[in-house]
Structure 1
Amino acid sequence: MRLFRIALMSLLLLSLSSCKVGRFFVYNFAGIKDYKIFPSRTIEKGDSTFYFTQGVEKKPKTISYKDKELSFEEFLIEQKTVAFLVIKNDSILYENYFNKYEEEAIVASFSMAKSVTSILIGIAIDEGLILSVNEPVTKYIPELKANGFDKVTLKHLLQMTSGLDYNEGYANPFGDVATFYYGTKLRKEIPKMKLKYEPEEKFDYASGSTQILGLVLERALKDQSISSYLQEKLWIPLEMEFDASWSIDRKKNGLEKTFCCLNARARDFAKIGRLYLNKGNWNGKQIVSEEWVAESTKYDVSEGSANHYQYQWWIPSENGDFMARGILGQYIYVHPEKDLIIVRLGKKEGKVDWFSVLPKIGKAY
């Protein structure tokens, strides 16, 4: 009888595995190796590679945590870190990998992909494929008109002030996150989205906003995929060290999950930070406009925006620093005044607030 129940449950799980609820129960909870379970598009590196120079190692001797002093490595390991890089003036001052991870290990970005999506929107505006952040989203997704989205602009989506009705919780197999993360029909789900608030009424972090921007970008690109655009405009020009991939919702004609799921290595994530540290310029070539970078990383509360969030980037202070951020503790922290980049990747967030810890670590440099 026990074997029969196990077999029955296995069949049930297999039958569900093609739908979002089944995937939720089979794969729950999200992990940094989820790039293995989703179809994806490859993003190829170019012929040339930029390498950060190797500097003299520098690190905090100890970290105070829970009323005890730990060595820096002990602290990182205890917080489930798999990669930690500190780069200053283009020199690697600290690089370490843990839990059987190494420099070639792929890690899913989760919501750090939101910041990359923002960069691509900025480039599309520079190229005239999108005219302005003030355009209504319904210009690109007219199906949303029926749900009152005529008053929602691309800027509202970038700022997370659109008023979108979206449940960000990862624990609900029937919720919006399960639909967007595990679902296979994003283009059909996006037009079903509704509004909960008036635009600019409040900041409300919603991954659905970034996925709507993803569909906007796809339609603005017309015959080019988002992954191909990323390869052409960022991955090759930034002289990435490794190929990457972007998970899509379905194998045939899939849409990139732009709110998450860019899969790459720590050093290449650091190059995203270097691009913005240098105001969108890469070794003399302007990849994305300086104005876009400034708008994306300023400390501002106008038009209903939150002072800690701009254009899909997090702003931890008024000191000019900013970061890309993803669940389970994926971070690209940038402090331009210090010429500093920190990348932290993890299996879990751990029991610390990296949003405040990374700037404190940065002070040591």
Structure 2
Amino acid sequence: MIRLLMLAFLSMLAFKGFVFAQSGPVFSDTGPEAEEYGASKGYPVPPFEYPPGLRQDFMVGTYSHFDKVHPMRTVPKPATPSVLKRATEEIVPVYHYDGRQKTIGDYLNTHPVTGLLIARGDTILFEHYRYARSDQDRLLSNSMAKTITALLVGIAISEGGIRSIDDTAATYVPELSGTEYGATPLRALLRMSSGVAFREQTYQPDDDIIKLHKALLGKDAVGAIAALRQFNTRDAPPNTRIAYASSETEVLGLVVSRAVHMPLADYLAVRIWQKLGAESDAAWAIDPTGQEVAYCCFIATLRDWARLGLMLANDGEWNGQQIVPRQWLLDATTVSPDSYLRNTVAQSWGYGYQVVILPGERRMFLLLGISGQGLFVDPESKLIMVQTAVRKLPVGDPKSPEAMALWYAVVAQYGHR
């Protein structure tokens, strides 16, 4: 009876936002602006997605049950998951931001985070869920999926399906012959530097990203080839300047699936997901032609996102296997200071192969998605932090830099082995 009363008391503290050390996942039914996010309605899932201005009361439901909104192809888990250990007590990092010292509890109480997990090596140090989400929910990636697509490019090259990243896209996707994207080398597509005009800035209806998204997942969707043919004006030569464009990842997804003669989800399953020892099936949204939407719309549990991050932190090795070629990952996550691939998101940040490279001499990188999705990786310490969130603004949220402050504090305090 005493134990039950103590558990009830701890649950009440967690609900009210108190921070305390314990072992195991922590769950809360609430979060910042919980009522506006649909708490009293059970965080509902809409009958169809509303891009780009998804109603706030539908965001939590959509971002954790995307498979109820769009058709998806399953990425099956293996028979046996890999083991993730758990620290005896969860960490309680502190960080400085906005002129004062804060705790990770302060962060959760002021940011619309659905899940936050920190791990090092093979050990979970912190795992919290908000807005009634659980460790069984498969949480949406948004553009974190771009890095997964680039990993598959690297594996396809190692297996000979793709001969060279200096080949053009039309080499593998003949339907793109005669188009600017078809004439673009894969290297430029990997680096978001095709030179093809594509606007992806505000995620408002006049942005090209919304036209592309509707052409793939809208009610009158036409599929990837037809969708990409909308964008056929070149502004610059390939490999000369960065211009973030989800369309470039979509081209890469087509290249991989054609080169390996199987759907992206199936290739991901046998080459990465099952080798990771994922504990749950994942899924990837598909367009009307059955092609995966390569730039987004992949769903997985938070611990499986962590497994992916820990594999990346180990330069492609996990569960006793080299899953992604080590040299590919080094090339993908390293940019020289004088390269045009620097100065992307902010001064001195970089862009690799569909991945953001963080500033500083220490090699750290970030899988980044709109509305607050992020998977931070520090190969030196084998430390990762994965966050899923429901920020109302797709990009440009004034609070979003606080995640970086938290991450750098976590590395400083726990980035040792």
Q: Tell me if TM exceeds 0.5.
A: yes
- Could you say if the C-alpha distance between residues 179 and 360 of structure 1 is closer, same or farther in structure 2, counting changes exceeding 3 Å? same
Native 8 Å contact 2:313 2:377 kept in 1: yes
Native 8 Å contact 1:82 1:97 kept in 2: yes
- RMSD of equivalent CA atoms: 2.4
- Could you say if the C-alpha distance between residues 25 and 74 of structure 1 is closer, same or farther in structure 2, counting changes exceeding 3 Å? closer
Q: Percent same amino acid at aligned positions?
A: 29
- Could you say if the C-alpha distance between residues 61 and 158 of structure 1 is closer, same or farther in structure 2, counting changes exceeding 3 Å? closer
- The equivalent of 2:271 in structure 1 is 233
Separation of aligned partners in 2, 1:150 and 1:32: 33
- The equivalent of 1:220 in structure 2 is 259
- The equivalent of 1:292 in structure 2 is 328
Q: Does 1:88 align with 2:132?
A: no
Q: Which has the higher contact order (CA 8 A, sep 6+)?
A: 1
Match of 1:93, SS?
A: strand
Question: Aligned runs of 1:170-319 on 2, under 5 Å?
Answer: 170-183=202-215, 184-185=221-222, 186-194=224-232, 195-222=234-261, 224-250=262-288, 253-300=289-336, 304-306=340-342, 308-317=350-359, 318-319=361-362
Native 8 Å contact 2:75 2:268 kept in 1: yes
Separation of aligned partners in 1, 2:304 and 2:251: 26
Of 191, 205, 217, the residue aligned with 1:159 is 191
Match of 2:243, SS?
A: coil
- Could you say if the C-alpha distance between residues 104 and 356 of structure 1 is closer, same or farther in structure 2, counting changes exceeding 3 Å? same
Partner deviation per Cα, 1:224-280 (whole Å, 9 max, x = no partner) = 111111111111111101111101122xx3211110010111110111111111121
- Could you say if the C-alpha distance between residues 220 and 100 of structure 1 is closer, same or farther in structure 2, counting changes exceeding 3 Å? same
Of 385, 392, 398, the residue aligned with 1:342 is 385
Q: Does 1:351 align with 2:399?
A: yes
Match of 1:228, SS?
A: helix
- Could you say if the C-alpha distance between residues 98 and 169 of structure 1 is closer, same or farther in structure 2, counting changes exceeding 3 Å? same
Question: What amino acid sits opposite 1:202 in the alignment?
Answer: R
- Could you say if the C-alpha distance between residues 256 and 341 of structure 1 is closer, same or farther in structure 2, counting changes exceeding 3 Å? same
Match of 1:84, SS?
A: strand
Native 8 Å contact 1:200 1:305 kept in 2: no
Native 8 Å contact 2:152 2:268 kept in 1: yes
Please state how far the C-alpha of 1:149 moved relative to its aligned partner. 4.5
Question: What amino acid sits opposite 1:176 in the alignment?
Answer: D
- The equivalent of 1:9 in structure 2 is none
Of 407, 411, 416, the residue aligned with 1:362 is 411
Indicate the larger mover: 56-65 or 164-173: 56-65
- Could you say if the C-alpha distance between residues 196 and 356 of structure 1 is closer, same or farther in structure 2, counting changes exceeding 3 Å? farther
Please state how far the C-alpha of 1:24 moved relative to its aligned partner. 3.6
Native 8 Å contact 2:85 2:123 kept in 1: yes
Q: Please, what TM-score do these two structures have when normalized by structure 2?
A: 0.76
Q: Does 1:132 align with 2:170?
A: no
- The equivalent of 1:117 in structure 2 is 149
Separation of aligned partners in 2, 1:329 and 1:26: 15
Native 8 Å contact 1:88 1:339 kept in 2: yes
- Could you say if the C-alpha distance between residues 95 and 26 of structure 1 is closer, same or farther in structure 2, counting changes exceeding 3 Å? closer
- The equivalent of 1:331 in structure 2 is 374
Question: What amino acid sits opposite 2:281 in the alignment?
Answer: D
Please state how far the C-alpha of 1:71 moved relative to its aligned partner. 3.6
Separation of aligned partners in 1, 2:166 and 2:200: 25
Separation of aligned partners in 2, 1:179 and 1:50: 40
Match of 2:380, SS?
A: helix
Question: What amino acid sits opposite 1:230 in the alignment?
Answer: L
* Number of residue-to-residue matches in the alignment: 343
Separation of aligned partners in 2, 1:149 and 1:103: 40
Separation of aligned partners in 2, 1:84 and 1:143: 41
Match of 1:334, SS?
A: strand
- Unpaired runs of 5+ in structure 1? 1-16
- Could you say if the C-alpha distance between residues 25 and 94 of structure 1 is closer, same or farther in structure 2, counting changes exceeding 3 Å? closer
Of 68, 82, 98, the residue aligned with 2:130 is 98
- Unpaired runs of 5+ in structure 2? 1-46, 216-220, 343-348, 392-396
Separation of aligned partners in 1, 2:103 and 2:171: 54
Please state how far the C-alpha of 1:35 moved relative to its aligned partner. 3.9
- The equivalent of 1:168 in structure 2 is 200
